[in-house]
A and B are shown apart, each in its own frame.
Chain A
Amino acid sequence: MAMKIGGRSFDKRAEQGVRDSYMRETVRTAQERLYTNKSQAEEELGDWEEWRSLSEKIRSHTVDNLDYYLERLSENVSKNGGHVYFAQTAAEANRYIQSIAERKEAKKVMKAKSMVTEEISMNEALEATGVEVIESDLGEYILQIDDHDPPSHIVAPALHKNKEQIKDTFSRRKGYQKTSKPEELTQFVRKKLRREFLEADIGITGCNFAVAESGSVALVTNEGNARLVTTIPKTHIAVMGMERVVPTWEELDILVSMLCRSAVGQKLTSYVTGLTGPKAQEDVDGPEEFHLVIVDNGRSNILGTPFQSALHCIRCAACINVCPVYRHIGGHAYGSIYPGPIGAVLSPLLEGYEDHQDLPYASSLCAACTDACPVKIPLHELLVEHRKVIAQEKKTTLGETFAMKGFGLVASSPRLFEMAAKTAPALLAPFTNKETIEKGPGPLKEWTAIRDFPGPKKERFRDWVKERNKGGAE
């Protein structure tokens, strides 16, 4: 699976998302729950803003000195006996991983969830050489056996599916005979995959953070699958986006704390695993061979540009969980494995505007994403920055250029306006009663009213949510 998902235009995908009332209900509930959990976790930490500022400082310092920290990281991995491969492109990374599989005569690869391996289409590359690749994260497994349905959220990839759909997929593909209870579905996967883990030749993981000072890779997980993947197979390959490095274990503490709280509202996930592979001579289990693949794949193009802070992202999805646009159109509409505000910022940077030029407009610029970001990436400002680039680079109408210059950076692009016209009735359903919407030019007026409220940064998003929920209950 490359970064781009779904063939049709953004408008069509968005329209399909808006019409999928089941998906929208699931996403709404999920957003609310994740948002509440995060808010609680923030409060427990005391001065959240102080933590955010510290995290921002860590990320900007590291990315500003990325060459230095990557050098230290690679030297330390090597000193420990691990191998490092710097891959400029997806193809280079895949070729290297294929060559390890070939040398090991691997038949079965067990994978833990990793966005960067999705981004470079690693599974397809391995499968093309006859290697079986099994996703072991529950959400990813569900998607994999459902004809490789693309993920719709970077933390909970199967968020768009309900348990009935999952049960049907399990029965159809794997002969599952029990109910749609999540407990039973999960137990089924546990049993099924345990055998696979024991037989796997290679384990492949992503990397939440790599620690430069010790050559370690930290994995932040809940299910235990990443631990199995790095305990039983004799070879472990970790694939990391080149920006995912921290100087020392002390910074790891801060960023892991922020990641767990921002992603799922946990103080720490069930498993935070620090791997400094390969195993020592006297160790009995753990990988005998360890490879770290450090992937650029377009990231270096972001360095030294106004978008550099996009590389500070720690992939927590907090921005996705508060985004009103994501709430209505769902993850697939973004047409990228990176959805939501961070996806709208990253996808055009990594893959170019050609395929993703609509994404910077899939935002009301309400700044909820920026407010939610634990490392203070100014996401909505970066979306505006994208619009500027697009406007300057011909891919826009005269009207938009005028709007940009004349009225400042408001969300009045023709594209968004067009989309709003199409989707307004569904978007407005939770806010107003039906009668008003169906009358005359109502939808656009209402949409504009909602879009303009609140003004960026003037009101805290959580207060807005509270207010909005009150309105919905009446």
Chain B
Amino acid sequence: MSSGNVQNQTTFLNHVADRLGRERRTTVNPPSYFSFPHQKMGKEADISELAKVLKKQCLAIHTDVREATINNLREVIDQVFVEYEAITAAVWDDPRFHQFGLDSIVERPQVSVWGEEPGREANIQAAEQADVGITFSDYTLAESGTVVIMNGAGKGLSVSLLPTNYIAIIPLSTLVPRMTQATAAIHEQAEKGRRLPACINFISGPSNSADIELDLVVGVHGPVRACYILVDDLKKEKKNEHETN
């Protein structure tokens, strides 16, 4: 990746420093914060408590919630399809679909896998015409009912955006208390000098607007309905623990 242009930087920043009454600063000591209220929130909560908080928040953000095990996840997704009167779908090209036993959904002719067709327009078109977009969640924020997704390559931005409905598959192992834990992980990447995904989405339910008389309308430019499917991917580990005990 070649570097982009930066124009007028020196004059502009010299002027800023000048207005601040000092020379340009090339190093700054990180700010010393005296309190960390965000880090305390939900610190003690275990996964089941976080799931409870998440489910409660989903009521506030007009988001449907379903619960599934790895064994019945496919059926649960199909039930949501029926409920949403959905036939076509766009999904990420993501190994988790296979890991969670969803090959039979991905392979359906009405399901388009991101990046499968060559070309930007064809993929955007497919997502635009899909009844449902399905992605996994990378981090799930209990407090705000938020699915955090790291887009890139097979994980197209359009899948969670253009279809009429959106399904997020949420492995319980992705649950964290709030935005703090997700941004800490992203910060860690940035600190190591790694390039971040070109788009990181924090999605909390369907699109909405209150621009007309402050009346909330659900379904504006993004998905009209959203459903989170919580999948218990921790049971197996628990079983293993018992076995080793």
Binding site for B on A (CB under 8 A): 26, 29-30, 33-34, 45-47, 50-51, 53-54, 57-58, 61, 64-71, 74-75, 77-88, 92, 96, 136-139, 142, 156-159, 162-163, 166, 182-183, 185-187, 189-190, 193-194, 197-198, 211, 213-214, 216, 222-225, 227-228, 230-232, 242, 247-250, 252-254, 256-257, 264, 266-286, 290, 294, 296, 300-301, 303-304
Contact = CB atoms under 8 A, between A and B. Distances in A.
A297 B61 CA distance: 38
B82 interface: no
A247 B29 CA distance: 11
Interface stretch (B99-107, B138-146, B231-239): B138-146
Contact of A228 (B114, B161, B206): B161
Nearest to A136: B221
A79 B2 CA distance: 8
B213 A71 contact: no
Given A231-B199, A253-B183, 8 more contacts: A82-B4, A86-B6, A182-B217, A193-B221, A211-B190, A231-B161, A254-B38, A256-B179
Contact of A186 (B24, B200, B219): B219
B9 interface: yes
A10 to B, nearest CB: 27
A85 B152 CA distance: 26
Contacts of B20: 64, 66-67, 303-304
B203 A270 contact: yes
A86 B187 contact: no
Contacts of B186: 214, 249, 274
Interface string B208-228: 111111110101111100000
Which of A65, A194, A290 has most B Cβ within 10 Å? A65
A247 B31 contact: yes
Contact of B31 (A51, A58, A223, A256): A58
Contacts of A82: 4
Contacts of B31: 57-58, 61, 247
A148 to B, nearest CB: 16
A270 B36 CA distance: 25
Nearest to A253: B183
B174 to A, nearest CB: 16
Given A71-B13, A270-B207, A276-B195, A81 B1 contact: yes
B153 interface: yes
B198 A88 contact: no
Nearest to A231: B157
A230 B161 CA distance: 11
A29 B199 contact: no
Given A50-B37, A304-B19, A74 B9 contact: yes
Nearest to A276: B196
Given A51-B37, A268-B202, A227 B222 contact: yes
Contact of B196 (A30, A197, A216): A216
B117 to A, nearest CB: 9
Interface of B: 1-9, 11-17, 19-21, 24-28, 30-31, 33-38, 40-41, 57, 61, 114-115, 120, 123-124, 128, 141, 143-146, 151-153, 156-158, 161-162, 178-180, 183-184, 186-187, 189-191, 195-215, 217, 219-223
A94 to B, nearest CB: 14
B153 to A, nearest CB: 4
Contacts of B1: 80-81, 280-281
Which of A74, A214, A290, A304 has most B Cβ within 10 Å? A214
Contacts of A250: 180, 183-184, 187
A138 B202 contact: no
Contacts of B195: 79-80, 276, 280
Contacts of A225: 220-221
B119 to A, nearest CB: 8
Contacts of B178: 257
B198 A267 contact: no
B153 A282 contact: yes
Nearest to A222: B208
Contacts of B40: 46
Given A46-B37, A248-B187, A256-B179, A185 B207 contact: no
A285 B157 contact: yes
B124 A285 contact: yes
Nearest to A164: B213
A230 B157 CA distance: 9
Given A82-B4, A83-B6, A253-B179, A224 B207 contact: yes
10 contacts: A53-B35, A77-B4, A83-B7, A85-B8, A222-B208, A227-B157, A248-B191, A257-B178, A277-B199, A303-B19
Contact of B156 (A214, A227, A228, A284): A284
B61 A257 contact: no
Nearest to A226: B221
B198 A156 contact: no
Contacts of A92: 8
A275 B187 contact: no
Given A231-B158, A304-B20, A280 B187 contact: no
B16 A300 contact: yes
Contact of A156 (B12, B34, B210, B222): B210
Nearest first, the 3 closest Cβ-Cβ pairs linking A and B are: A224-B222, A224-B207, A139-B211
Given A270-B61, A272-B202, A249 B219 contact: no
Given A67-B25, A270-B203, A30 B214 contact: yes
B68 to A, nearest CB: 24
A85 B7 CA distance: 5
A183 B12 CA distance: 46
A360 to B, nearest CB: 22
Contacts of A46: 37, 40-41
B217 to A, nearest CB: 4
B91 to A, nearest CB: 14
A300 B123 CA distance: 44
